[in-house]
Structure 1
Amino acid sequence: MKLKIYTLVFVKKRNEILLGLKARGFGVGLWNGFGGKVEKGESIFEGAKRELKEESNLQAENLNHLGVVTYEEENNPVRSIVHVFITYNVIGTVRGSEEMNPVKWFKFRDIPYQDMWPDANLWYPYVLQDQYFLALVKYVVVGTMPTTHYTLIFIKINGYVLLGYKKRGLGVRKWNGYGGKIEVNENVTDGVIRELYEESNLVVQKDNLKYLGVVTYNDRQHTRVVYIFTSSQFQGELKETEEMKPQWFNLNNLPYNNMWPDSQFWVPLVINNQYFQASFTYINDELNDYSVERLSELPDMIF
């Protein structure tokens, strides 16, 4: 079995821990400590200090090697070994990076486990208590991973479509429609209306929504199902929000180079009001496989 060696550093102070939101690459959109692959000729301590500096602008004066997490994936010959460190002594000012942004202090009681790797809540408690540990985590194939459901809406009017420039979180620094995760006890249409309002200040009535299709995303963590809507009727004054910066684009000149790589395969169908379903598989933030099918009638919602 092939081994890959990684480091992960947690900066702590009394009852607080510093985490970064992964802005790109493996684990994008998830909160975690600071780390990455150990480079050739580099010790794990050197790698840990380098990654912490690159991702948070902090320099560790000392590191405590607290534990090791071993990851195995079904039908994958690669085993990942993650050396976990903690430190209370750092030099520098906390600053986000291209890799991790934002970087934020969390009270122990407020750690966002729902937006972290599924195994985090199994071994993070040892990190919080400065307790030495060993952990083995085995992931099964993608098809059996948890599924989460999202909405996405494209507002179109007079030959233009409204896109938002993502300012934080999953998809940061990319253009996209407006949407997000469907909340507990919320249906699909309520979710898309809420997300559009929160991100743009625009209001669309249910009767003015057109459901066009579903896009399924698979990665090593879980499956995301996204329900795609359009509308040409709305109320309210368009505003920039903490999440999205709005801009109208000509339907014939969309910024595909600054959108998710899969957008070029299905957004044109949205522009042309074509029913469809699509599936995309990403590995390490790279599009690995996909399928797109045009439909003659409205696809079923599986939520």
Structure 2
Amino acid sequence: MTNKMECMIYTMCLVHCENKVLLINRPSSRGFPGFLGPGGKVDMTESITEGAVRELREETGLIVKPEDLVYKGIDEYVVPKTNFRYMVFNYAATKFEGELLANPPEGELLWVNIKEALELPMQPWFKHRFPLFIEPGTFEISVVWDEDNQVAFEDKLYRLG
């Protein structure tokens, strides 16, 4: 096995206000269809926090200051066979400015009642992670993926702080 590892870094930021959370209803044509939070790949020259702020603005039109983000945790997917690690840094925000985009690039934007959100069609990985954005504290999710059988052979969740 080689020591070289490929790593992709992403962010996700859930904005919630009162009893609602902002979700994207992502169409099948964009991949990962269903309701999920705004986020995406961190560019090479930006910090992870800057990436979260930029992705939120690009996908929703909302502006969040870095100091108003609350770090919620990390989830990572490791594929030993290919030495690949996919890391998502997760944030929440309750303070924001701006208005929602009229034609968002990733799918329809909807304010959804937090208590009803899990009834919506979601990717299993997002459904598993969603409550962790709302609960106090931080989390770490670590999944080790068996590429041959397309199944997780380790799936750990740590609730921190």
Per the TM superposition, whether the score is higher than 0.5 is yes
- Conservation of the 8 A alpha-carbon contact between 1:162 and 1:247: yes
**Unmatched 5+ stretches in structure 2:** none
Residue 294 (str. 1) matches residue 121 (str. 2): no
After superposition, what is the alpha-carbon deviation per residue over 1:145-185, rounded to whole angstroms, capped at 9, x for unaligned? 411101100001111111112234442x2211111000011
Q: Which has the higher helix share?
A: 2
Change (3 A) 1:263 1:281: farther
- What SS is found at the alignment partner of 1:242? coil
Change (3 A) 1:174 1:145: farther
1:151: which partner in 2?
11
**In structure 1, what residue type is equivalent to 2:136?**
N
1:160: which partner in 2?
20
Change (3 A) 1:277 1:249: same
Using the size of structure 2 for normalisation, the TM-score is 0.84
TM alignment of 1:232-247, pairs within 5 A: 232-239=94-101, 240-247=103-110
- Conservation of the 8 A alpha-carbon contact between 2:35 and 2:120: no
- What SS is found at the alignment partner of 1:156? strand
Higher Rg of the two aligned structures = 1
- Conservation of the 8 A alpha-carbon contact between 1:280 and 1:287: no
**In structure 2, what residue type is equivalent to 1:183?**
D
Change (3 A) 1:290 1:169: same
Percent identity over the alignment is 26
2:139: which partner in 1?
276
- Conservation of the 8 A alpha-carbon contact between 1:200 and 1:244: no
Cα drift, residue 286 of structure 1? 5.3
- Partner Cα distance (1:271, 1:287) in 2: 27
Change (3 A) 1:258 1:208: same
Residue 224 (str. 1) matches residue 86 (str. 2): yes
Cα drift, residue 274 of structure 1? 2.4
Aligned length: 155
1:189: which partner in 2?
49
Cα drift, residue 244 of structure 1? 2.6
Superposed CA RMSD in Å reads: 2.4
Residue 252 (str. 1) matches residue 112 (str. 2): no
**Unmatched 5+ stretches in structure 1:** 1-139, 297-303
- Partner Cα distance (1:251, 1:284) in 2: 37
- Conservation of the 8 A alpha-carbon contact between 1:216 and 1:223: yes
Change (3 A) 1:277 1:174: same
After superposition, what is the alpha-carbon deviation per residue over 1:205-244, rounded to whole angstroms, capped at 9, x for unaligned? 1121111110102346522100000001111111241223
- Conservation of the 8 A alpha-carbon contact between 1:151 and 1:227: yes
- Partner Cα distance (2:130, 2:73) in 1: 11
1:204: which partner in 2?
64
- Conservation of the 8 A alpha-carbon contact between 2:15 and 2:21: yes
Using the size of structure 1 for normalisation, the TM-score is 0.47
Change (3 A) 1:290 1:203: same
- Conservation of the 8 A alpha-carbon contact between 1:150 and 1:226: yes
**In structure 2, what residue type is equivalent to 1:193?**
V
**In structure 2, what residue type is equivalent to 1:259?**
M
